[in-house]
Structure 1
Amino acid sequence: MRCNPSYWLLGLVPIAALSWVAVQFQHEDIENDLARRTAEALKRAGLTWATPHVVGRDVVLTGKAPEERGPMLAAGYARNVWGVRVAYNRSGLIERVANYRWSAASDGSGRLRLTGDVPSEHARRSLLDTAKTAFPSATVTDGMRLARGSVDPDAWLAGAEFSLKTLSGLKRGEAELAALDLSMRGEAATSEAYRQARAALEKKRPARVGLAEERIALPMVRPYVWNARKGGDGFVIEGYAPGDDARDRLVARARSLFGKMSFSDRTDIADGAPDGWEKAVVIALEQLAQLKSGDVAFSGRDLTFSGEAADEQVAAAVRRSLKLDVPQNFKIVDRIRYPKPDLFPAGSGYVMGVVNTGTSVDVIGMTPSEAARAALVDAVKARFPARTVNDKTQVAPGAPEGWQQCVVAGLASLSRLTKGKSLLSDRKLELSGETDDYATSQSVPGDVKAAAGQTCETTVNVAFTGKMKTDLSWKATRAPNGMITLEGDAPDDPSRVHVIETAQQIYPGESITDQMKIVGAAPEPWLSATRVALGQLARLRRGDVSISAKDVMIEGAAESDRVANEIRSVLSTDLPPGYKARDAITVMTADEKAADSCQTLMRQTSAKGTINFERAKADLTADSTQTLRDLVEVANECPAFSIEIEGHTDAEGTDERNQRLSDRRARAVADFLIQNGVSALRLSTIGYGATRPIADNATEAGRAKNRRIEFNVKVN
């Protein structure tokens, strides 16, 4: 039998067709198998960023690698998969950033936002899983992007996951990683959460993660309350303190003040304390220790202080300390009680008293007659016109000699106090009380003693309850006529006297006018500053120097640049520490110096002689003639300058009358000068009445000094 080759060829066709069909049916399974095994190999190698695409037995890799050797490693692992013929690497690298930053922000309302750079998809997924676990009820927004940076991915991921877990303990906040430096900001939900977050940041941070910033706030409390209670043998504090350190300091201070009492601390920590809170609490504790029992209650800036003091003196001292030492932004309500003493114990003798409670006045004790009783009550009503006066006296014989003078001496000063009492027992007068006027607290003891004279023995105890000033305002003026005027605040009477004496030493022969008022302040370094200021003012021909708080300003005319510079140098080196000096010193021209010399001659001439007028008139007396003729000669020796003639009177009479009289007297002097050869064109007059005294109008000697004529020489 012969074989026909064409039949064989015809038989191969269906075989080929069947083979092609078989291959087509298995092709997809083969590609899927290669893709699966390649992906598993990449995953085992930690290269999950790479995605394999299989065509036949060829693998194409895509994706972005987080490190430069990543694409090469992925291609190598793909080629080693059994069945892969060729691996094509079409992957790239994720973007590189110079400042690698990542952050997580929780707004406290159930939203968490993740933003910034992450090193890989694996890190992204890990962070999202951690966020969902740490914030189970929050809506998480993913705003992260893949980026390369010079960070260790493992250390970085540990730091980011730690940040999320720590952030979950805050009410609201933000965590930020700058490379491997962590910053944490926010508000804790509770004091315990605050402590835990800070402890974690300090002690539990992952290795290599640094702490750049920690700004976690305690939970905010409104109103901010704190209380202390002293009673029996026990002492309790409760409420809030602005931190563990502040709480520990307050507890330590309380234990030192109340060490023998059983102690209970029920305070917690929270934010929201007003400015000066700790200082106010310490002062309140110190004053509470002075009471037998009591309570301190802070609510925001309101302080309520209540309790029982041993006596009135203790109560007054506590009130004064609270008022002066507690920061001024706190409003204080005090409810301090104390037992009322028996004003006149048995055996006190002939006694009477006037008690000013601050709202009413009680007149108590004995009076020698009904007439004396009525006169006393009327005198008290006159001294306290706005107060209710309660007459609790009784008529009794036996009043000591001078009784009335002593009563009046105590009553006169008692009316100047905020509250107090004046008690007379036989010939012993005791005055006590308080005032917020420092000058009054200083002057009352002397005033009482002077008013009582030798009639009775006086004891005075006046407490100053005001606030000592620290920003005194003071000024010294040197006028062209040689008069030195001191005005403004003085710390106390000894300081005022010292400044006057200093001015008299620096300006011998010149008239010193004191218009200072006592305000209550520390004498130093104010006294040292005024000494330097007065000394430098003396080097000016005219001008003034002022001190406001610790700012010194001097202005006026110096005779040369050298003098002006020397004044500036002294002020820059000799003033007490903390004081700063400014100046507006000008240098006199030749004409100004000449006018100043003429001014000095006019002043010296008038000071040596006499310029008098008939009483209450503008008629010059005969003894004024020689002085006025001497002034004519001086005026004519200075023909280039004009002269202003000032008239001054004392304070007797009405202001209108004094003004007219001073005008007429100045005009009378000008008329004499004109009649004796001084050009009328050079003269002008002005009357000041009693508005510019240089001495005390309460004395005859002072009034005589105030009745005067002064001359001012001016450059035309």
Structure 2
Amino acid sequence: MRCNPLYWLLGIVPIAALSWVAVQVQHEDIESDLARRTSEALKRANLTWATPHVSGRDIVLTGKAPEERGPMLAEGHARNVWGVRVAYNRSGLIEHVANYHWSVASDGAGRLRLAGDVPSEQARRSLLDTAKAAFPSAAVSDGMRLARGSVDPDAWLAGAQFSLKTLAGLKRGEAELAELDLSMRGEAATSDAYRRAKTALAKQRPPRVALADEKISLPMARPYTWNARKGGDGFLIEGYAPGDDVRGRLVARAKTLFGKMSFTDRTDIADGAPDGWEKAVVIALEQLAQLKSGDVAFSGRDLTFSGEAADEQVAAAVSRSLKLDVPQNFKIVDRIRYPKPDLFPAGSGYVMGIVNNGAAIDVIGMTPSQAARAALVDAVKARFPGRAVNDKTQVAPGAPEGWQQCVVAGLASLSRLTKGKSLLSDRKLELTGETDDYATSQSVAGDVKAAAGQTCETTVNVAFVGKMKTDLAWKATRAPNGMITLEGDVPDDPARVRVIETAQRIYPGESITDQMKIVGAPPEPWQSATRVALEQLARLRRGDVEMSGKEVMIQGAAESERVADEIRSVLSTDLPPGFKVRDAITVMTGEEKAADSCQTLMRQTSAKGTINFERAKADLTSDSTQTLRDLVEVANECPSFSIEIEGHTDAEGTDERNQRLSDRRARAVADFLTQNGVSARRLSTIGYGATRPVADNATETGRAKNRRIEFNVKVN
């Protein structure tokens, strides 16, 4: 039999095709098997960052390792897989950063953002799982990136997970990890959440995680309310306090004040308390303790205080303490009641009273005659124009001697009060009431006593119920002619006297002009600040120091830079706490020092001598000649400087007449100096009339001091 080659060829072709297909199928199975087993080996070695790519029996590794030995470890594990012929390592390292930083922020509106550096993909997935568990309804934004650093990955991951879990308890906030230093800021949703977050950050942080910064705020309360109620044998407080420490102090203070009463505390903690809140609450508690019963209600800066006092004196004292001691940023409404006593109890004697309740005037009691009764009512109407006057008096004989003088003494001062009463019982006059003018509250007692004289015995109890001023404006000026002028606000009359006495001690022999006014304010720390200011002003040759609230401004000429620096140093250290200092101190030139010496000589010469004029004229008297000749010598010893001659008069006569007279008198002195050898080009004159008194024009001695000539030496 012959073999046909064509038939063999036809048989071989399908066999070859089938063999090729079988090889291809087996090749893919081999690659898939190698890839699977290599991935499993890498996973077991915790090298999931590496991705194997198989070609035949060759493995190519890609990816970025979180540590330097990672690529080498991955290559070794890939080579050890059975069936792998060659392993090619094309992996790299993730970026290295010097300052490892990670953050998370929750906006309170359902959005959570993760950002910053993470050490591995496994850590990233772990943090995302933790975030979704802690914030189940939040939309999580992943802005994290792989990065290497010097941080321990396990400790870092524990710190990041702790941050997420703690932040989940806040209404909104953010946390940051800088290496292993944790910072957290945010607002708690409730007071319990606030306490949990504070406790966790203080005591439950993972090992090695340090707390760098913490600013967790309480939930905000609007309005910020706090109430206290005293009634029967029980005492209740409720509302908000700005922290557990403040709440504890207030509870302790309340228990001390109301210890014998049953006590209920329903307060919670929240943010939003106004400035000075704790002080205001303590003062309100202390004053509530003075009442038989009452309520305190705070709403923001509004304080409503109501209750029942034992008598009018207690009510007035409580009202006064509230208005003087509670910080001035609070608006106070007090509604304190008290039983009204019988104005004229049985056996009071011959009595008469005038009562000003703030709206109408009641005239009650006894008058000696119909004429006296009518005159009294007319006098009351004149003192209280536009007010309703209710005449409830009756005519009765037996009025004591001097009755009318005592009645008028009480009426005159009663009209200066916002409300009050004047009661005359036989020869005893009692005036009580309140005023919002501090100067009035200080002067009424003396005025009543002076008006009554020896006719009757006086008792005065007037409460100041206005707001004490804290932003006083005060100024002291030291002029080149040696005059010290004090002007502006002073707290009270004792403080005014002490400031004048301090100035007299610091500037002996110099003329001190008092233009200050009493406004009603706490004397300290204002009084201490003015003493320091006056002492440092004395070290300047001329200048002024001005206080506005707690800001001190001093300006003028110092003898040297050393003196200027010493003044600045003393003011920065010796002023009471809270005061701030600004200065515009200059250092005198040699020419200015010389002019200042001439100024001193001119002032001393004129002070030791006499410069007088004929009454109401500009004619110099003969006893002025020697003093003026001495002044000629002093002026010629200072030929480089000009001299301004000031004329001053007392307040008698019209302003226009005094102005002209002061001008003519200054000119008369200039003429004398010129005629006796002083260059006229160096002299100028000015008249001030009665506008710059140095003493009280109400006395002859004071008027004599105000009629004067002064000299100012100036650098040309």
| TM-score in terms of structure 1 length | 0.86
Query: Quick check: 2:564–2:587 contact (8 Å CA) kept in 1?
Result: no
Shift of residue 679, structure 1, vs aligned partner:
8.6
What count of residue pairs does the alignment treat as equivalent?
703
Counterpart of 1:516 in structure 2: which amino acid?
A: M
What is the alpha-carbon distance in structure 1 between the residues aligned to residue 344 and residue 685 of structure 2? 66
Shift of residue 65, structure 1, vs aligned partner:
1.8
Specify the alignment match of 2:614 in structure 1.
Answer: 612
Shift of residue 489, structure 1, vs aligned partner:
4.1
Shift of residue 457, structure 1, vs aligned partner:
0.7
Q: Deviations over 1:340-364 (max 9, x none)?
A: 2222111111111222223333222
Query: Quick check: 2:599–2:711 contact (8 Å CA) kept in 1?
Result: no
Counterpart of 1:431 in structure 2: which amino acid?
A: L
What is the alpha-carbon distance in structure 1 between the residues aligned to residue 73 and residue 320 of structure 2? 83
What is the alpha-carbon distance in structure 1 between the residues aligned to residue 56 and residue 534 of structure 2? 107
Q: Deviations over 1:622-655 (max 9, x none)?
A: xx74224445644654566877665544434443
Counterpart of 2:617 in structure 1: which amino acid?
A: A
Given candidates 574, 579, 585, the residue that maps to 1:577 is 574
What secondary structure does 1:123 align onto?
Answer: helix
Specify the alignment match of 2:711 in structure 1.
Answer: 712
Q: Does 1:43 align with 2:43?
A: yes
Show the 5 A alignment for 1:596-611. 596-606=600-610, 611=613
Q: Does 1:315 align with 2:312?
A: no
| TM-score in terms of structure 2 length | 0.86
Counterpart of 2:182 in structure 1: which amino acid?
A: L
Show the 5 A alignment for 1:443-462. 443-462=443-462
Show the 5 A alignment for 1:147-166. 147-166=147-166
What is the alpha-carbon distance in structure 2 between the residues aligned to residue 567 and residue 36 of structure 1? 87
Specify the alignment match of 2:250 in structure 1.
Answer: 250
Specify the alignment match of 1:281 in structure 2.
Answer: 281
The more displaced of 631-640 and 81-90 is 631-640
Show the 5 A alignment for 1:175-574. 175-468=175-468, 474-475=474-475, 485-500=485-500, 512-520=512-520, 551=552, 553=554, 555=556, 561=559
Q: Deviations over 1:657-713 (max 9, x none)?
A: 44445556666777888899999878766544332334333345544554x342536
What is the alpha-carbon distance in structure 1 between the residues aligned to residue 498 and residue 434 of structure 2? 27
Shift of residue 38, structure 1, vs aligned partner:
2.1
The more displaced of 18-27 and 136-145 is 18-27
What is the alpha-carbon distance in structure 2 between the residues aligned to residue 537 and residue 30 of structure 1? 100
Q: Does 1:627 align with 2:626?
A: no
What secondary structure does 2:310 align onto?
Answer: coil
What is the alpha-carbon distance in structure 2 between the residues aligned to residue 196 and residue 679 of structure 1? 89
What secondary structure does 1:606 align onto?
Answer: coil
Specify the alignment match of 2:105 in structure 1.
Answer: 105
Shift of residue 200, structure 1, vs aligned partner:
2.2
Specify the alignment match of 1:86 in structure 2.
Answer: 86
Shift of residue 44, structure 1, vs aligned partner:
2.0
Distance 1:694 1:135, change over 3 A: closer
Distance 1:422 1:78, change over 3 A: same
Shift of residue 427, structure 1, vs aligned partner:
0.2
What secondary structure does 2:609 align onto?
Answer: helix
The more displaced of 531-540 and 350-359 is 531-540
Counterpart of 2:183 in structure 1: which amino acid?
A: S
The more displaced of 8-17 and 46-55 is 8-17
Query: Quick check: 1:233–1:262 contact (8 Å CA) kept in 2?
Result: yes
What is the alpha-carbon distance in structure 2 between the residues aligned to residue 605 and residue 514 of structure 1? 25
Q: Deviations over 1:228-267 (max 9, x none)?
A: 1111111111112222222222212211111111111111
The more displaced of 464-473 and 424-433 is 464-473
What is the alpha-carbon distance in structure 2 between the residues aligned to residue 166 and residue 474 of structure 1? 54
The more displaced of 241-250 and 525-534 is 525-534
Shift of residue 575, structure 1, vs aligned partner:
11
Query: Quick check: 2:541–2:556 contact (8 Å CA) kept in 1?
Result: no
Distance 1:258 1:381, change over 3 A: same
Distance 1:536 1:47, change over 3 A: closer
Q: Deviations over 1:369-390 (max 9, x none)?
A: 2222222222222222354333
Q: Deviations over 1:11-67 (max 9, x none)?
A: 998776654443323222222222222222222222212222222233222222222
The more displaced of 350-359 and 78-87 is 78-87
Counterpart of 2:608 in structure 1: which amino acid?
A: Q
Query: Quick check: 1:666–1:709 contact (8 Å CA) kept in 2?
Result: no
Q: Does 1:23 align with 2:23?
A: yes
RMSD across aligned positions (CA): 3.8
Query: Quick check: 2:231–2:293 contact (8 Å CA) kept in 1?
Result: yes
Task: Give % identity.
Answer: 79
Counterpart of 2:108 in structure 1: which amino acid?
A: G
Specify the alignment match of 1:75 in structure 2.
Answer: 75
What is the alpha-carbon distance in structure 1 between the residues aligned to residue 352 and residue 207 of structure 2? 84
Counterpart of 1:404 in structure 2: which amino acid?
A: Q
What is the alpha-carbon distance in structure 2 between the residues aligned to residue 208 and residue 545 of structure 1? 57
Shift of residue 401, structure 1, vs aligned partner:
0.5
Distance 1:483 1:611, change over 3 A: farther
Distance 1:506 1:144, change over 3 A: closer
Query: Quick check: 1:596–1:713 contact (8 Å CA) kept in 2?
Result: no
Counterpart of 1:275 in structure 2: which amino acid?
A: D
Counterpart of 2:217 in structure 1: which amino acid?
A: A
Counterpart of 1:606 in structure 2: which amino acid?
A: T
What is the alpha-carbon distance in structure 2 between the residues aligned to residue 252 and residue 348 of structure 1? 47
Q: Does 1:61 align with 2:61?
A: yes
Shift of residue 571, structure 1, vs aligned partner:
9.0
What is the alpha-carbon distance in structure 2 between the residues aligned to residue 219 and residue 291 of structure 1? 34
Distance 1:696 1:272, change over 3 A: same
